[in-house]
Structure 1
Amino acid sequence: MEDEDRRTAGMGAKRTVGRLWPLIAGLLALALLVVFTLATAREPIEADLDAAARDILARTGESWASARFEGRDATMEGEALAEEARAKVRASLEGMFGVRVVRDATTLLPERRPFTFSAVKDGRTIALDGYVPSADALARIIAAARSGGDQVTGQDRLVRARGAPPGDFAALVIYGLAQLKKLPTGRLTLADGAMGLEGRARDLAGFDELAQTLHGPLPSGMVLARFAVRPPVAAPFLWSAVRDGTVLRLSGYVPSAQARSDVAAALSAAVPGIGIKDDTRLADGAPATELWMRAVRFAGSALAQLPEGRVTLSDTTIAVEGAAPSFTAFDILLTLRRQTPEGFQIVRFAVEPPRASPFTWQIERGAEQARLTGFAPSEDARRLLLDAARSGFQGVQVVDEMQLASGGPPPELWASAASFAVSQLSRMRTGTAHVLGTQVILEGEASDSAGYLLVMQAVRTPPAGVTVDAAEVRPPTISPYVFSVRREADELTVSGFYPDAEVHAAIRSALERDFLRAKVNDVSAVGGGAPAGFQVAVLAGLAELTRLGSGELSVTDGQLRLTGTVLNPNAATEIEAELRRVVRPAFSLETIFQPAVNLPPVNTMECGRLTGDLLSRGVIRFATASAQIDRQSRGLVDRIAQVLRRCPDAVVRVTGHTDGMGDPEFNLRLSEARANAVVAYLSAAGVASDRLSAAGFGSGQPVAPNDTEAGKALNRRIEIEVKERAP
């Protein structure tokens, strides 16, 4: 029964299924149709929703987010910078037409405070580090860093994070990178919106441009926290200040902006009321700032004394140029020159001293001190003069009271005149050299006779361009004042002192003319302090010394002494009388004479030879147009008389001659008178008168042409002929 029931039920089910199958097949077909329809319509719907979502996110400024659609269901993805941004994006997507469900798959980035970024540039390589707010910002920053061909490292160290300042952080970084790229090497830092830039500029123009840019308007949201870009190194590091009356013009370089302010303050303090026009630029390469500022203050002190001047600093050297308005200002500048700032040296000091008119200087030389006063044209010329004075005045203190001045001769010419003056004063015991321009006026007393002669010789040939007046230069003072001429045989010895070259020349002339060409040994020297009437007394004494066989003329202060042997028995009385007539007080006179020793007889021939020898060495002279024998010739006639007394058996003929000038009759009478005068003199000197005869030929027997003075002198002569007496 049960089996039957089961069969009956099974058959009923089959019948039921059979009846439902068409319905099932229709439903399956409908489902397949729906699935097909949905499959073919989903793709355009998702594409439309994707496009709409991107547009909405772009317009709301939330480009960090994206939406992925499955049909009308949206999945929100991305790294959010804040919860508010997530909510804003979610609300925007949910409000889109056609969106059914929004699933939030975003993550919230970690927050970083401060939000930092850095870039280090080394040549063409830029290393990045820090935080970025988004992948989009990261891509923009890397692209900016790579611009211009630079290589970029450190991309993996850029971490996305929250905490970026409001606004477009990538734009701030890109602006900073643009400034960093202007440096060969440097570092850019951003902390929130505060930017720092450090490094060294490639050149001054680049430094100035960068400084002007970063100290000007910056992008919104950015402030300049640190500007540590160093200017380029200036070599040499130059700084110059030029004063033009009431204005100081500055150029060159300063090591920092603070130094520029300090310079202005220092110069304003040194030159009160001065206007400053500052055209300096920042640069590296200066000495230590404090040392450099000391040099600037030195420059201010110098320019305070120079209404028109310039001071230049070049590394550690100083140059000062200008014209001092007064000697006081110039002395202050010279003092400054000796107080050079530490670490610096003055390599040029071209300050023109004030003008001196007249341009004079002098040296006063004493026994223990030499004092230099007046003006010198340059420091070098002054130093040369001081060196010459210290060298020339050994053992004497040299006191320098000279001042530098302009308006004088060229320094070389001045130094030549100065050296000449020092050289002459070095030969003096005391003296002064006054110099006006290049004219040297010497006065003083020579230290010795040799020095005096050297001075007198030097003044005759002064240096080129120098004139000299030495009229007041005196020989050394001699006390007691001595002079002597000693006659022995055919030699004369001159010793002692004479007062000047003129007197010495007169003495030498008398010795060479009146002493029969005797050898003269002159060891006399020039000396001051000669008694009054020295020349007259000495020449008178020499005239009488010619009449002595041997003897000595000496002067001691105011005493004249003549001693020796007389050749003529009458000579002693005549000599003393003549000296007393000529030699005047305050000279005193002393004479001591002895008769000459009689010489042995000689034959007539020898007598004639000896007489001829005397006449060959001397000339018997007469007063002009007169038969009076000149006093300077009496010594010669005395010697002829001495010779003739040695040959008593010979006869002597004296003949007179004149030149061809004047009346022939007068010349004849004059020649006869002169011959008779010689005969009379010889007779008085001890030659027997019966042995003597005289004759005159006037100008009838000339021995030389009368067209010259020398020829006339030869024709005016006395001839003496010695012969055997006729049986």
Structure 2
Amino acid sequence: MRADPGEKAPRPARWRRSVLAIGALCLIVIAALAVAQRGAIEADLGRRAQALLLWSGEGWASASFVGRDAVVTGEALAEEARAKVRAGLGSIDGVRRVIDATTLLPERRPFTFSAARDGGVLQLSGYVPSEAARTRIGEAARAVPGITAVKGLDRLVRARGAPAGDFASVVAFGLDQLARLPTGRIILSDDALSIEGRSPDLATYDRLSRTLHGPLPQGFRLARFAVRPPVVSPFLWSALREGQQVRALGHVPSAEARAAVLSALAAAVPGAEVIDEMRLGDGAPSGALWVKAVTYAVMQLALLPKGRVTLSDTAIAIEGQAPSFDIYDALQSARRAPPEGFSVMRFAVEPPVATPFTWRVHRTAERLVLSGYVVSEEAKRGIADAVRGLFPGVPVSDETRIAGGGPPAEQFAAMSRFALALLARMGRGEADLSGGRLSLAGEALDAEAFAAATKMARQPPPGVELDRFTVRPPLISPFVFVMRRDAKGITLSGFLPDAAAQAAVGALLADLYPGETVQDVTGLGSGAPEGFAAAVKAGLLQSVRLEPAELRLTDRDLLLAGDVPHAAAAGQVLRDVTAALPEGFRAATEIAPAEPGAPLTAAECVPLAASLASPRQPTFEAGLSRPDSRGAAFLDRLARIALRCPEAVVEVAPEPVSGAPAAGATANARAMAVIAHLAEAGIEPSRIRVVPLASGAPGEEGVAVHLRPAAAGAN
């Protein structure tokens, strides 16, 4: 029977519904509590699993939990790492099981990585061990100073085979070194690091070299250091020696070249202390040739106890003081044979000092011999050039050596040029330079050369001190002197022994023949007999009695030729010249008396006689009563006029000195000598009269001679 809806249900039914409601509510609460507890368990297990992975060094793996079940994901570098991760996670309290969802990366051998820099661009390539390593490498690359773009980061390939340790930190170290180069590259291959590029300066190069040749991080080793040093221009290297200490300076192109240089120094100067101050630099000539050139320079330095050798690109300089002539000669020889591609541009080796410093040139008829010392190679070349110009075709023997201790270079050049110029005017002779003073001796080629050399010797150039000049005129044989006198004047030819004789002849002729033109073409020569100049004088003195006249002196034979006013004069001339000649000389004459001439009237005679000379003629030999040659010539000419004037008389007037009886006696004696000379000439004694002096000159004694008309003489 259906119950009435408004009627309350029975009590048991209501109870069951309440129980069901309460049960459902409990289930909901229980389920909520279970879900909340599971989430807390999973979170707790996840935290503990991540800590374990990081602590064990397996950060490549990650773990997630489903309840108490661990699900491991990631790319393992090795099977051992996977097993290690599984075992570690399984040991965590509360983990029920471990589900391995990891994968194994492919293995790469060699494991390589590279970073190449070109200005602001960094290009990466190669392998990385993990995504975390890629991230760290990217951060390090972008942090390199000056880098504006990093390329290839997303194309780095993850792989197994990386060396043990923190690979990313080694890459970061390499990038730090690459940051110092404007262009360059680092390469990691397994556990080896290589670097290449060009250093911007030596300081950077030195820092890189020290760093990379020292301990590397993570046990890496340096496989290749190919950083090139900065280009050096000019490329300089030098070595300085002070006894047993040698300092090597400048640049070398490589470590191998440095070792070769040090080895060469040790071999060349055994036992020497070698101080290495060389630095690497780029820009040297070809490596092998450069080392060869340095070895050559070191061998020259070994000969100098104190010196320096320098290479500047391909130019070699050698400086120092040679200890001996043999070593100096050896250095000179080496100077002319440098290595291929190189040249000795500076040779500043001082030669040994010569004491005394002498330079000689000896000339013979066959050759020229130079000996002694010169101050430099340039001086030697200058002398050789001068010799070729001044002595063409003459064989030359040069025995000179370069030495120190001589005059300054400019003075030596002036003295040697001057000496050679003088020797060029000699057939044989010698120039001697010693102690800064020059001496010359020898025989001139000819009279013209002797005159030129004598003139040069009187005016040496500045800086030249001529200590001795004994150059003889050329040897003349036969030795001849000639004087000719006619209506046109006087001509001299032939030779005289010296300039003094030339001057004496000129002065004598000016005295004997005042106002007459003298053409002197004589030369100076050697080979004259002793007394030659005195014989010339004796002949010239007698020549005044001849008109025309010729004097020829050949060695010791004198010949006088010409005309005399009267026949007696010929014998007188021969007698007087023979008496005046030096011992060993001989005299001969070719003298003829002049034609007598037509008689003259009185009106013609007196003016003609008056034109001969002043009233004080004739002249006499000093202190003697005998007329000298000029006085005899005057009397000869007067006698010739008197012979043509039969109506004239000759008046002889002595010239006594007032109050001096002795002087008066001399005057009388001279008057008697005049009378005797005229009588010998053919003047009759009746035509000669001694008369008082019309007007005297006190202080002098002599004789005045006049030709007077007969009537005037009677008065």
TM-score by length of 1: 0.89
Partner of 2:282: 284
Q: Of the candidates 563, 577, 592, which is equivalent to residue 565 of structure 1? A: 563
Contact 1:254 1:260 in 2 (8 A): yes
Match of 2:331 in 1: 333
Q: Deviations over 1:565-607 (max 9, x none)?
A: 1113321111222233233554333222211123455566665
Matched, 1:461 2:466: no
Please show how residues 447-486 of structure 1 align to structure 2 within 5 Å.
447-469=445-467, 471-486=469-484
CA distance in 2, matches of 1:700, 1:432: 59
Deviations 1:203-259 (A, max 9, x none): 112212221222222223201111111111111111111111122211111111111
Q: Which ranges in structure 2 are unaligned for 5 or more consecutive residues?
A: 1-11
SS at match of 1:183: coil
- Secondary structure (helix, strand or coil) at the match of 1:549 reads coil
Question: How many Å apart are 1:351 and its aligned residue?
Answer: 0.9
SS of the residue aligned with 1:383?
A: helix
2:150 is matched with 152
**2:373 paired residue among 365, 372, 375:** 375
The match for 2:413 is 415
The answer as to 2:533 corresponding to 1:535 is: yes
Aligned-partner Cα distance in 2 for 1:648–1:273: 119
SS of 1:552's equivalent in the other structure is strand
* CA RMSD after TM alignment: 3.0
CA spacing shift, 1:554–1:190, aligned 2, 3 Å: same
Once the two structures are superposed, residues 463-522 of structure 1 have per-residue CA deviations (whole angstroms, 9 ceiling, x without a partner) of: 233233555422112222222112223522211122221222222222221134432222
Amino acid in the other structure paired with 1:88? K
Q: Quote the residue 2:130 is aligned against.
A: 134
2:106 counterpart of 1:118:
no
In structure 2, C-alpha distance between the alignment counterparts of 1:356 and 1:640, rounded to whole Å:
76
CA contact (8 A) 1:373 1:402 kept: yes
Asked whether the 8 Å contact 1:237–1:253 carries over to 2, the reply is: yes
The number of residues matched between the two structures is 698
Q: Map 1:139-218 to 2 at 5 A.
A: 139-147=135-143, 148-150=145-147, 151-218=149-216
Identify which of 568, 574, 582 aligns with 2:580: 582
Q: Does 1:488 align with 2:486?
A: yes
- For 1:226, the aligned partner's letter is R
Given candidates 89, 93, 105, the residue that maps to 2:89 is: 93
Offset, 1:618 = 11
Amino acid at match of 1:444: G
* Displacement after TM superposition at 1:635 (Å): 2.2
* Structure 1, 390-399 or 79-88: larger mean CA deviation: 79-88
User: Within 5 Å, which residues of 2 pair with 1:505-654?
Assistant: 505-583=503-581, 586-600=584-598, 607=605, 609-615=607-613, 620-650=618-648
CA positional deviation for 1:193: 0.8
Match in the other structure for 1:387:
385
Aligned 8 A contact 1:608 1:722 in 2: yes
Q: How far has the Cα of 1:91 moved from its partner? A: 2.6
Alpha-carbon contact 2:423-2:429 (below 8 Å) kept: yes
> Which of 70, 80, 84 is equivalent to 1:84?
80
Give the aligned partner of residue 262 of structure 2. 264
User: Identical aligned pairs, as a percentage?
Assistant: 47
**Closer/same/farther in 2, CA of residues 716 and 122 from structure 1, 3 Å limit:** farther
Could you say what secondary structure the match of 2:567 adopts?
Answer: coil
Q: 8 Å contact 1:514–1:633 — kept in the other structure?
A: no
Distance 1:634 1:43, change over 3 A: farther
Distance in 1 (CA, whole Å) between partners of 2:450 and 2:371 is: 24
Secondary structure of 2:613's counterpart equals: helix
Give the partner amino acid of 2:217.
Answer: P
1:235 aligns with 2:233: yes
**Paired position in structure 1 for 2:8:** none
What is the one-letter code of the residue matched to 1:310? R
| Superimposed CA distance per residue, residues 329-380 of structure 1 (whole angstroms, 9 cap, x where no aligned partner) | 1111111111122111112111111111111111111223111000001111
Which of 104, 114, 125 matches 1:108?
Answer: 104
Letter in structure 2 aligned against 1:165: P
Q: Shift in Å at residue 321 of structure 1?
A: 0.8
Q: Where do residues 313-328 of structure 1 align in structure 2 (5 Å cutoff)?
A: 313-328=311-326
Deviation at 1:621, TM superposition (A): 3.1
TM-score, with structure 2 as normaliser:
0.90
User: CA separation of 1:122/1:697 partners in 2, compared to 1, >3 Å: closer, same or farther?
Assistant: farther
Q: Distance in 2 between matches of 1:254 and 1:550?
A: 96
Relative to structure 2, which stretch is displaced further, 406-415 or 429-438?
429-438
- The alignment partner of 2:571 has SS state of helix
Structure 1 counterpart of 2:334, one-letter code: L
The letter of the residue matching 1:136 is A
Whether the aligned pair in 1 keeps the contact of 2:141 and 2:175 (CA below 8 Å) is yes
* Equivalent-residue separation in structure 2 for 1:605 and 1:137 (angstroms): 155
Q: CA deviation at 1:125?
A: 2.1
Tell me which residue corresponds to 1:250: 248
Query: How far, CA to CA, are the matches of 1:603 and 1:35 in structure 2?
Result: 199
Task: Spell out, residue by residue over 1:39-77, the C-alpha distance to the aligned partner (whole angstroms, 9 max, x if none).
Answer: 555554444333322222111111111223344443322
1:30 and 2:26 aligned: yes
Residue 71 of structure 2 is aligned to residue 75 of structure 1:
yes
In structure 2, C-alpha distance between the alignment counterparts of 1:576 and 1:17, rounded to whole Å = 210
Change (3 A) 1:23 1:719: farther
Aligned residues of 1:517 and 1:617 also touching (Cα < 8 A): no
Please tell me whether the aligned partners of residues 74 and 103 of structure 1 are also in contact (alpha carbons under 8 angstroms): yes
TM superposition shift of 1:275: 2.9
SS at 2:399 equivalent: strand
What secondary structure does 1:322 align onto? strand
> How far apart, CA to CA, are the structure 2 residues paired with 1:553 and 1:142?
124
Contact 2:563 2:593 (8 Å CA) reproduced: yes
CA shift for structure 1 position 24: 5.4
SS at match of 2:217: coil
Q: Secondary structure at the match of 2:248?
A: strand
Question: CA–CA distance in 2 between the matches of 1:220 and 1:697?
Answer: 146
* Structure-2 residue corresponding to 1:13: none
Matched residue of 2:507: which SS? helix
Report the residue type matching 2:120 in the other structure: R
The 8 Å contact of residues 239 and 252 in structure 1, kept in 2 or not, is answered as: yes
**Do 1:668 and 1:697's aligned partners in 2 also have CA atoms closer than 8 Å?**
no
Secondary structure, counterpart of 2:127 in structure 1: strand
| CA-CA distance at 1:298 after TM superposition | 1.7
Counterpart code for 1:137: A
Cα distance in 2 for partners of 1:477, 1:483 equals 14
CA distance in 1, matches of 2:362, 2:191: 82
Single out whichever of 122-131 and 353-362 deviates more from structure 2: 122-131
For 1:378-428, what per-residue CA distance to the aligned partner results, in whole angstroms no more than 9, with x for missing partners? 111121111111111111012211001111111111111111110011011
Change (3 A) 1:697 1:665: farther
> CA 1:53–1:697 in 2, change beyond 3 Å: closer, same or farther?
farther
Deviates more, 1:245-254 or 1:524-533: 524-533
> 2:5 maps to what in 1?
none
What is the CA distance between 1:152 and its match in structure 2?
A: 1.7
Which string of whole-angstrom CA distances, capped at 9 and with x for unpartnered residues, describes residues 516-569 of structure 1? 443222222122222333222222122221111213211223322222211133
Q: Say which SS state the counterpart of residue 623 (structure 1) adopts.
A: coil
| 1:471–1:101 distance in 2 versus 1, CA, 3 Å | closer
Q: CA separation of 1:488/1:80 partners in 2, compared to 1, >3 Å: closer, same or farther?
A: same
Contact 1:516–1:614 (8 Å) recurs in 2: no
